[in-house]
Structure 1
Amino acid sequence: MPTAASVRAELQHTGKYMMQYGLAWGNAGNISARTEGDRYMITASGTFLGELDDADLIECDLAGGVYGAEGRKPSKETPMHRAVYENRPEIGAVLHASPFYSTLVACSSIDIPSNWFVETMYYLERVERVPYFHPGTEALGEGVREKAKAANILLLENHGVLVYDTTIREARMALQTLEMACKMLVVSRGSDIGLNGIPRDVEKDFLERAGYKPRRQWE
């Protein structure tokens, strides 16, 4: 079980990573990770992901308790994070961001293919859309709750994306894979370049037998 200190350090690294690779901008976005039991650590309201200090990360629990906040408030998007942790006990980290190409796709009706290459087959196996609700509202949290078990990538319409996985590292890789795939999708359409997908039976065989990652179990 990771300690609160190790989770804090990895979230700080992740915030810098997201800024460095164009996965976040300004003070948009919020990130979290489980610590122990029913607790998780989340960025405080109004933080800049690229420069997170210790006070910018607040520990909470699924019942709504807040620990060591020192006058700060957890991100207003906490309902989304809590909805994922409550419904997916195997999930260790949740990243919410608005990367350019992923957000462009979230503001459209374009579907994201999963069968382009190894990483998309695994990380983008299931992508769902959540209708627009005002950011930070319980309604948005409930919208996420309805789709949390159906995918590990949620496109928040006219808002951004929510990515969650077993560890912080895996969530980072999923977010970067999503942005790469969305960039390929947009650029190929603008350049009139058709992209060939891997046959679905081959994709299924890869997920079940290749051993690239442990097979996800879906309900």
Structure 2
Amino acid sequence: MENRWNSGIHDRKLKEQICEIGRRVYDKGFAAANDGNISIRVGDNEVLCSPTMICKGFMTPDDICAVDMNGDQLAGKRKRTSEVLLHLAIMKERPDVKAVVHCHPPHATAFAVAREAIPQCVLPEVEVFMGEVPLAPYETPGGQEFASTVVPFLKATNTIILTNHGTVSFGKTLEEAYWKTEILDAYCRILILAKQIGGITYLGEQKSRELIDLKKRLGFDDPRFHNESCDLCGNSAFRDGYKEDAPQQKAFEKAPDYPGYLQKPTYDSGNGNGNIQLPAGMNMDDLVKMITDQVVSAMGK
């Protein structure tokens, strides 16, 4: 069946792509035995997905199933994965999403079972390519209630940790969706290793802001571009999505209390450890004018 993506439920190349991502997931140790599932949207009402009860490292194109956007199976000799409703919930809420990867990467899943908030303002690549990662509440996998747990978080991220379960990442292509998983697990591994040797070091306010500026220039979206209440590196972008208490940082020192990206920044004092303390009654504009006047005066001597 042809459609606006010029593909369809019988497209062998796309089935091979699902198998290739399955091999990467399996080889990375992100999916033991029959864990995980993968999907790609191929039409207005058609999605290719991995079947249930199969190792993702050993799939062939002939194993791949097709379902409609309600989860009803359209094609395939094997039964579709029971967790495809999670994939479909994401695609329905995010029409830009064409591919979804769900698996159990061990380091990220360690954060899932501990319900530990993932620190921000630590690693440049994570700030630019990922941003804040929410933790969806636990629900028994397989049903619509499980699929609905991610919906409150979908507008602001392409990567979600599923509490006591694993991760789900998504994007315009299968590779993009997979890369999000790989970045997340690598970051979580670094955090765990850093904890073992003493802890993490947060970036300063200015450097954190520079990374968000870079993210904006590269064309990536971020909740901090739109929400004044989002602080620069605290876990706050998804506060409205948490029906229960938001996850807290227990294993790591709390992130510094920097103002939000849309708020007026403070300025580093030069020693990397603090901000300028303004004299009583003086605002930042007055301070800048005072320093400028002093520089101009010195140049005239």
TM-score with structure 1 setting the length = 0.90
The equivalent residue for 2:221 is: 216
> 1:198, 1:136 → 2: CA distance?
42
Checking the alignment, whether the CA contact within 8 Å between 2:118 and 2:132 is kept in structure 1 is no
Structure exhibiting the larger radius of gyration computed from Cα positions:
2
**Cα separation, partners in 2 of 1:215 and 1:52, compared to 1, 3 Å:** same
Q: Quick one: which of 81, 84, 87 aligns to 1:78?
A: 84
Amino acid at match of 2:215: L
Q: Does 1:44 align with 2:74?
A: no
Deviation sequence 1:35-71 (CA, Å, 0-9, x none): 122311111111110011123211112133322223x
The equivalent residue for 1:153 is: 159
The equivalent residue for 1:102 is: 108
Amino acid at match of 2:39: S
Q: Does 1:139 align with 2:145?
A: yes
> 1:11, 1:205 → 2: CA distance?
35
What is the DSSP-based 3-state SS (H/G/I as helix, E as strand, rest coil) of the residue aligned with 1:44? coil
Q: Quick one: which of 18, 25, 39 aligns to 2:32?
A: 25
Deviation sequence 1:3-31 (CA, Å, 0-9, x none): 32221111111011111222222111111
What is the DSSP-based 3-state SS (H/G/I as helix, E as strand, rest coil) of the residue aligned with 1:154? strand
Deviation at 1:217, TM superposition (A): 6.7
Checking the alignment, whether the CA contact within 8 Å between 1:112 and 1:181 is kept in structure 2 is no
Deviation sequence 1:49-104 (CA, Å, 0-9, x none): 0011123211112133322223x221110110010010101112111111110100
Q: Does 1:92 align with 2:128?
A: no
Q: Quick one: which of 31, 34, 45 aligns to 2:41?
A: 34
What is the DSSP-based 3-state SS (H/G/I as helix, E as strand, rest coil) of the residue aligned with 1:121? helix
Amino acid at match of 2:42: T
Deviation at 1:118, TM superposition (A): 4.0
Deviation at 1:197, TM superposition (A): 2.9
Q: Quick one: which of 164, 167, 178 aligns to 2:173?
A: 167
Amino acid at match of 2:129: Y
The equivalent residue for 1:6 is: 13
Deviation sequence 1:119-139 (CA, Å, 0-9, x none): 312332131111110111211
Q: Does 1:67 align with 2:67?
A: no
Gaps of 5+ in 2: 227-301
The equivalent residue for 1:207 is: 215
What is the DSSP-based 3-state SS (H/G/I as helix, E as strand, rest coil) of the residue aligned with 2:92? helix
Which one has the bigger strand percentage?
1
- Aligned identity (percent) is 23
What is the DSSP-based 3-state SS (H/G/I as helix, E as strand, rest coil) of the residue aligned with 1:91? coil
> 2:199, 2:71 → 1: CA distance?
49
TM-score with structure 2 setting the length = 0.67
Amino acid at match of 1:145: V
**Cα separation, partners in 2 of 1:10 and 1:142, compared to 1, 3 Å:** same
**Larger relative contact order (CA 8 Å, sep ≥ 6):** 1
Checking the alignment, whether the CA contact within 8 Å between 1:12 and 1:49 is kept in structure 2 is yes
How many residue pairs end up in the alignment? 215
Checking the alignment, whether the CA contact within 8 Å between 1:106 and 1:156 is kept in structure 2 is yes
> 2:6, 2:127 → 1: CA distance?
29
Gaps of 5+ in 1: none
**Cα separation, partners in 2 of 1:64 and 1:100, compared to 1, 3 Å:** closer
What is the DSSP-based 3-state SS (H/G/I as helix, E as strand, rest coil) of the residue aligned with 2:90? helix
What is the DSSP-based 3-state SS (H/G/I as helix, E as strand, rest coil) of the residue aligned with 1:127? coil
